[in-house]
């Protein structure tokens, strides 16, 4: 995966040309946003963190948007596990460290906030890692849905817990409840009465 890192605490350059398109998915419509360098964002259209499209250009024929749409369709169809679309999210240095660590999580592999904190060299920074995970601007492709509590609890997700549960199930991780406190059902536990 090509990841063009833009490290900034400020908004992107207002003169930068950003294009967007919406696409249907099995979990609701998503808005894809691209810069000339790569995919800048991918949000479900009902997410609280979805930025305004003001200043963006609607473009169905942009090659980055088309690649992202095609790869997401393949992922949802079970035909893809790794994304290849170039990424260009805007964030702080720390956020990029966390987002890179998320990109290193393989399909179906889960990690806790503590695991990610150790991965980025901040073993006592689980809460800060949680903040960076929560600010991930590229849902699914930067797989923040693969982050769970240390006790395997479902925890939160910007797209909502029902979507997180569905994304994890798509990757082979079963949660019977949509509660943030729900625990992952391990192999052989599905039939237990509790």
Active-site residues, by number, are 144
3-state secondary structure of 56: coil
19-77: CATH class: alpha beta
169: exposed, middle or buried (Cβ count in 10 Å: 0-12, 13-18, 19+): exposed
Asked if 151 contacts 130 with a C-beta cutoff of 8 angstroms, the reply is no
Which part of the chain has CATH 1.10.10.10?
93-171
For 154, the token pair is: 């479902």
- SS3 of 87, please? strand
Highest CATH level, class, for 93-171: mainly alpha
71-85, pLDDT tens digit by residue?
999 999 999 999 999
Asked if 58 contacts 72 with a C-beta cutoff of 8 angstroms, the reply is no
Give the global pTM: 0.86
Sheet of strand 19-23: strand arrangement: 39-44, 30-34, 19-23, 57-58
As annotated, the residues of the chain forming the CATH 3.30.160 domain(s) are 19-77
60 or 184, greater pLDDT: 60
pLDDT in tens, 142-167: 999 999 988 888 888 889 888 988 99
Average pLDDT, the chain: 87
User: Is 173 in contact with 155 (CB distance < 8 Å)?
Assistant: no
């Amino acid at each position: 995966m090509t990841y063009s890192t833009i490290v900034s605490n400020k908004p992107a350059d207002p003169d930068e040309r950003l294009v967007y398109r919406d696409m249907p998915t099995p979990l609701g419509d998503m808005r894809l946003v691209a810069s000339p360098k790569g995919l800048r964002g991918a949000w479900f259209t009902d997410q609280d963190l979805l930025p305004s499209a003001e200043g963006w250009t609607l473009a169905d024929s942009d090659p980055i948007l088309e690649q992202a749409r095609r790869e997401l369709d393949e992922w949802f169809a079970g035909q893809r596990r790794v994304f290849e679309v170039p990424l260009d999210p805007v964030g702080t240095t720390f956020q990029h460290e966390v987002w890179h660590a998320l990109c290193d999580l393989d399909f179906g592999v889960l990690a806790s906030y503590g695991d990610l904190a150790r991965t980025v060299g901040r073993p006592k920074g689980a809460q800060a890692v949680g903040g960076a995970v929560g600010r991930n601007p590229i849902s699914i492709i930067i797989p923040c849905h693969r982050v769970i509590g240390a006790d395997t609890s479902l925890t939160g997700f910007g797209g909502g817990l029902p979507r997180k549960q569905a994304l994890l199930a798509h990757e082979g991780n079963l949660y019977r409840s949509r509660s943030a406190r729900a625990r992952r059902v391990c192999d052989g536990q599905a039939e237990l009465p509790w």
